[in-house]
Chains A and B, each alone.
Chain A
Amino acid sequence: MSIDPPDQVARPRMRLQPTPAPAPPPAVAPTAGLTNGIGHELIRPAVFDITDMSVHYGAKRALAWTTLKVYRNLATAVIGPSGCGKSTFLRSLNRMNDSIPGFRVDGQILYHGHDLYNKATNRVEVRRRIGMVFQKPNPFPKSIYDNIAWAPRNLGMRKDLDERVEKAIRQAALWDEVKDRLKSSALSLSGGQQQRLCIARAIAVEPDVLLLDEPASALDPVATQSIEDLIHQLKNRFTIVIVTHNMQQAARVADRTAFFSLDSVERVGTLIEYDTTEKIFSNPVDTRTRDYVTGRFG
């Protein structure tokens, strides 16, 4: 196990399956560009350790040859053109694709050393630890309070429910706007507020990872700004993976960026380059990355 940075609280390690999977030797994270803000380089543990991942929908291959590590308490952006497998990649990280007919994943996705697609792995437990926020805000047709309280209630976290709800809404920077109308319908909120409510709902169960699938693409610039500010704050507590169409957004919020694109020979989405955001946007190694981030793609 690598050393936790001093400003991080170690999370309890829980098993995803009854039989312990042999944990691979601890990965030593690359340290380039990762500092704790006072100049010390950090060694971060990997939350996801993905090796040669590929995804099929029936006979169609949507993603191939993808190997990368996602580090704890960083915001990792996934960028790339449409149809390059970004969302497929993200949704495979908490098994949201399982319900799609013909979905198959090959290679290995380790989450804290546990195989996500092991037979014994329970996908409900996976999603309880790896939350997700979707492109379109999808609040329940319930009150604002009940939207947040629903999951904790069903998970048996009934103790101090009011405090938990308030804390989640505060963390999602929504408290001042809704504190006087917690009992009114969540559908009465604006699009940006609904999306922050969905983020509050996701963090109310205290997950380990937050997956954000283009969380601001349906929102106006002001709401987008508030979501981005939020991501900056949330990464102190959660590991964040965000898929975005918007390169400036990736540059603004992410510590590390993965660029996905279509492989030129086989026309299948794949990881082209993965590095610190600074490196990807200022000095990428691959010409395809450079063409994309400078807007010369196509």
Chain B
Amino acid sequence: MSELPAFDPTAPLVATGNLQRRLVVSGVVQLLSWIAAGIAVGVLAFVVIEVLVRGLAVLSWSFLTTNAGQFGGGGGIGSAIIGSALIVAFGALIAAPLGVLCAIYLVEFAPRRSPLATVLRTGLDMMQGFPTIVIGLFIFGVVSKKQSGFAASLALAMVMLPLIARTSQEVLLTIPQSLREATDALGIDRWRSILTVILPTALGGIVTGAILAIARAAGETAPLLILDGLFNASHTTIDIFGHGVPNLPLLIWEAAEGGTPAELSRVWGIALVLLGLILIANISARVLLARSRRRMGL
């Protein structure tokens, strides 16, 4: 560092020279970040508003509760809401325990630099990046060999598993080590501490992660094309093990493919329902997370 130039300490306290230039650069960068943030929020707002306006035009109680007409074409989406809820719920039932247990292993039990933990961690990361159409193909070709709602649940579980495992890991890592020391010092087995202190403390965060994963899986379309594409939307079914069950993403796809003006206006109604469900899930997840943070005293 060269020596600082001598300055007059009695001069007025205004920016000059180098500082002036830096203030200009700072202002430009600030402006650019504002614009970028504005574009991101703007796109989201544009999508939500467009879907809201077009969707509300067709949305009604009967649209939500009645089933579609016999061969596509008109009608409501009751059977698809029930079907989507079923396949997503079964997927979550499979993925959530597995994901949380993976996270517990990685954070609480895996020894440092354990090869198994490294493999598991890398594997989960890779799984998160898998093309979901390949997941669908794998389930269809190797596991189920036929279309059914449950096959779709399995694929959605594979989509959710890495997300749940990752968020659960992050939540478990935020739990202070002093809490684990406190349980250890009382002479209680680690698994009991996990069950009765660590997990209850982390529960809010884990549920949040699970909801976000469910929201992500609910809109997943690609694997459903392979695994759950053959359904009769005019018929409500809860038999997810037998045949394909109606679901929202593919109903959107079908209605959009239909091409008639009636179908094209109907598609926005379905999109609104799906988007609304996902947004509600997202917002409630965030509220839950904030509440659990407060409880943990973070």
Contacts and interface: CB of A to CB of B under 8 A. Distances in A.
Given A94-B185, A129-B187, A205-B187, A136 B197 contact: no
B197 A132 contact: no
A129 B184 CA distance: 12
Contacts of A129: 187
B186 A141 contact: no
Contacts of B183: 140
A128 B184 CA distance: 9
B184 A134 contact: no
Interface string A190-218: 00000000100110010100000000000
Nearest to B197: A140
Given A101-B112, A134-B181, A134-B182, A127 B187 contact: yes
Interface string B153-197: 000000000000000000000001011011111111100100011
B282 interface: no
B297 interface: yes
B221 interface: no
B201 interface: yes
Chain A interface size range:
20 to 34
B181 A155 contact: no
Contacts of B49: none
B295 interface: yes
Q: What does DSSP make chain B's interface, helix, strand, loop or mixed?
A: helix
A184 to B, nearest CB: 13
B112 A198 contact: no
Nearest to B296: A141
A52 interface: no
B264 to A, nearest CB: 52
Given A134-B181, A140-B182, A141-B296, A125 B176 contact: no
A134 B178 contact: yes
Contacts of A150: 186, 196-197
B138 to A, nearest CB: 38
A248 interface: no
A126 B186 CA distance: 9
B197 A128 contact: no
Contact of A151 (B112, B187, B200, B297): B187
Interface residues of B, number: 21
Interface string A2-35: 0000000000000000000000000000000000
A282 interface: no
Contacts of B181: 96, 132, 134, 138
Contact of B188 (A101, A151, A187, A202): A151
B297 A126 contact: no
B179 A138 contact: yes
B147 to A, nearest CB: 46
Contacts of B192: 154
A198 B188 contact: no
Interface string B260-278: 0000000000000000000
B178 A128 contact: no
Contacts of A205: 186-187
A155 to B, nearest CB: 7
Nearest to A99: B184
A100 to B, nearest CB: 10
A214 to B, nearest CB: 13
B167 to A, nearest CB: 19
Interface of A: 94, 96, 99, 101, 124-129, 131-134, 136, 138-142, 150-151, 154-155, 185, 187, 198, 201-202, 205, 207
Given A150-B196, A185-B295, 8 more contacts: A94-B185, A132-B185, A140-B179, A140-B182, A142-B200, A151-B186, A151-B187, A202-B185
19 contacts: A101-B112, A124-B187, A124-B189, A125-B187, A126-B187, A128-B187, A129-B187, A131-B185, A132-B181, A133-B185, A139-B182, A140-B182, A142-B200, A150-B197, A151-B186, A154-B192, A155-B188, A187-B297, A207-B187
Interface of B: 112, 176, 178-179, 181-189, 192, 196-197, 200-201, 295-297
* A-B CB proximity, top 10 nearest: A128-B187, A132-B185, A127-B187, A138-B178, A151-B186, A138-B182, A187-B297, A154-B188, A154-B192, A141-B201
